[in-house]
Structure 1
Amino acid sequence: MNSTIWTALALVLVLEGLGPMLAPGLWRRMIQSMTQLPDRLLQRFGGGLVVAGVVVYYMLRVHGSN
C-alpha cells in the first residue's frame, strides 16, 4: 500500500482516539445517543462521510500536486 494511505489511516486513528481520551463522559453519551437513531439515518450519515472523504482525497490528489 501507498505510504500516504498508511499515514491517513494513522491520522484517523489518532483523531478517533482523542474523543474517548479527552472527554470520556461526553464521548459515551454521544455513542449512547447514536444507538437510539434509526438505521436509515446512520446509513445516510455514514454515506455522507464516505462521499466527503472521497471528495477531499480527490481534491488533494488533483490540486495538491501543484
Structure 2
Amino acid sequence: MADLFWAALGLMLVMEGLLPFLNPRQWRAIFQRAAQLSDGQIRFLGCASLCLGGLVLWLWGLAG
C-alpha cells in the first residue's frame, strides 16, 4: 500500500511540473489569474478537484 502511495505522489508531482517546465510564461499567467480569484471560487475549484479525483479513484477501484 505504501508503494502505491509513493507512486501516486510521484505521478502527481510529474503532472504538476509539466506546465511550468514546458511553458513557464503561460504557467505564470495562469498563476497570476488564480491569485485574483475569490476564496469561494478557489474553494469551488478545490471541491471539484477532490470530487473528480475521488471519482477517478472509485472507478479505478471498480475496474481493478
Same fold (TM over 0.5): yes
State TM-score, norm by structure 2. 0.91
Identity rate, percent? 34
**How far did residue 19 of structure 1 move?**
1.1
User: Over the residues paired in the alignment, what is the CA RMSD in angstroms?
Assistant: 1.0
Count of residues in Structure 1 that have an aligned counterpart in Structure 2: 64
The answer for the alignment partner of 2:32 in structure 1 is 32
Structure 1 runs of 4+ with >3 Å offset: none
2:11 matched to 1:22?
no
The answer for the alignment partner of 2:7 in structure 1 is 7
State TM-score, norm by structure 1. 0.88
SS at match of 1:37: coil
Structure 2 portions without partners, runs of 5+? none
**How far did residue 2 of structure 1 move?**
2.6
**How far did residue 61 of structure 1 move?**
1.1
Structure 1 portions without partners, runs of 5+? none
